[in-house]
Amino acid sequence: MIDALFSWLLLPLGFALGWALSRGYPHQGRAITPEKLGGLVTHLVSDNPDETLAALSEAAEMDSSAAEMHLTLGNLFRKRGEVDRALHIHEDLLARPNLPPELRNQARFELAQDYHKAGLMDRAEEISLALAAEGQYTVPSLELVRTIYEQGRDWEQAIRISRRIESAKGESKREVIAQYYCELAEEARARKDAAAALDLAERAASEDPSCIRAQLLLGALQEAAGEGAEAAKHYRLAFERDPRFLPEVIEPLRRCAEKTGDAEAYLLFLQDAKEMSPSSLPILAEAHLMRQEGLEVADYLAQGLETRPGRAVLAEFLEVLEHQPGVVAAGLDKPAASLRSAIRKLMETTPRYRCSHCGFSPRQLFWQCPSCKQWATTTPIDDVLKS
């Protein structure tokens, strides 16, 4: 515990105290003396923040440098998860009538963050919006409000506040705005309002033409509406934007080809996919087509395994092998079946996606990473086994 205190509190506070000590408080004759500093450090190592605070307040009455020390301390308490203490410090600071305006605004912004962390979203929102309206801490305040709307899944407000951030910061927020439109489209889809869902997904795609999620959503909506050719166009676009999304489109594209009867388009796509992606999935898809035609695929899969040793292809190969007369006669069909079953189990339990921002590896695709809260950083993991 004392070690943690040293890292969180003692070092930064030591700097603040050292700075205050070097300045002294000649106008009040209440400089922090080495004795008082020693007393503060004793309180800190005794892990008693209340006494530390009391000592701080005693050491110097509220002039600006002491207020800055309180701000530092409050910030540290919040980072440590001690929100009540942070709130207490910042509320106490704001109750002081002589606090200079810049420190008052800083304390208000800190307080907004405390309220957010404490789950008091209305209060955090109110302070942040007031600060932004006064042109104080504008971008960080608006960003905090954006986070609050995201957490409340209030996507329309999140879009509105993002537009304000765009103009305040002079930086595009189109990527995240497209994600909010996709969220609205998903909600419309869930309440079976296909027309609204399509309109919102199209807005997402026009907001950010590189948005893969919007293309996948448009593909799914068009497919559900029976528009196979239109759906295939969007699925292909999603793949072309980022070939790592092949696992998300390969099966939908097969379904579309089946519905439209355009097998050639699907075969052409598989050719392109082999060129654009190192994945073994096109080999697997081609083998499925060959099996449907009654063709022998063992050699084809064996060849595919040499260049793209994916787990799915390996499992398929073993399944084909199990039924080869020579393999059965040699009594190798059972070991092949066990190995295939082990590979399939492994495939069912290993992560399928990874967030490029924080490394979080879930089994399902999240458009906002549940761990780091970044948007569109999670992509499918390549199935090909690497040495």
* Residue numbering of the annotated binding site: 355, 358, 369, 372
Contacts of 123 (CB under 8 A, 6+ apart): 112, 115
Contact status: 266 vs Zn ion (CB under 5 A): no
β-sheet bridge partners, residue 380: 353
Smaller CB separation from Zn ion, 323 or 363: 363
Shortest reach from residue 374's CB to Zn ion, in Å: 5
Contact status: 371 vs Zn ion (CB under 5 A): yes
Shortest reach from residue 298's CB to Zn ion, in Å: 41
Segment 123-162, which members bind Zn ion (CB under 5 A)?
none
Q: Which residue in the block uniquely carries the two structure tokens 């996948």?
A: 216
H helices present in 80-192, as ranges: 83-94, 101-117, 121-133, 138-151, 155-169, 174-190
Contact status: 369 vs Zn ion (CB under 5 A): yes
The half-sphere exposure of 269 on its side-chain side, counting CA atoms within 13 A, is 26
Shortest reach from residue 317's CB to Zn ion, in Å: 34
Smaller CB separation from Zn ion, 160 or 357: 357
Shortest reach from residue 176's CB to Zn ion, in Å: 15
Shortest reach from residue 96's CB to Zn ion, in Å: 40
Segment 329-368, which members bind Zn ion (CB under 5 A)?
355, 357-358, 360
Contact status: 372 vs Zn ion (CB under 5 A): yes
Specify the 3-state DSSP secondary structure of 265: helix
| Other beta carbons less than 10 A from residue 195's beta carbon | 10
| Other beta carbons less than 10 A from residue 319's beta carbon | 16
Smaller CB separation from Zn ion, 198 or 369: 369
Shortest reach from residue 367's CB to Zn ion, in Å: 11
322 by Cβ neighbours in 10 Å (0-12 / 13-18 / 19+) ranks as: middle
207 vs 176: CA distance, rounded Å: 9
| Other beta carbons less than 10 A from residue 122's beta carbon | 9
The answer to whether 108 and 127 have CB atoms below 8 angstroms apart is: yes
Shortest reach from residue 242's CB to Zn ion, in Å: 17
331 vs 368: CA distance, rounded Å: 49
| Binding-site residues for Fe cation | 355, 358, 369, 372
Q: How many residues bind Zn ion (CB under 5 A)?
A: 7
Contact status: 381 vs Zn ion (CB under 5 A): no
Smaller CB separation from Zn ion, 110 or 150: 150
Smaller CB separation from Zn ion, 120 or 372: 372
Smaller CB separation from Zn ion, 140 or 362: 362
Smaller CB separation from Zn ion, 287 or 355: 355
85 vs 87: CA distance, rounded Å: 5
Tokens for 45, please give them.
Answer: 């190592």
Tokens for 142, please give them.
Answer: 């608006």
The answer to whether 296 and 304 have CB atoms below 8 angstroms apart is: no
Specify the 3-state DSSP secondary structure of 43: helix
Q: Which residues of the chain form contacts with Zn ion (CB under 5 A)?
A: 355, 357-358, 360, 369, 371-372
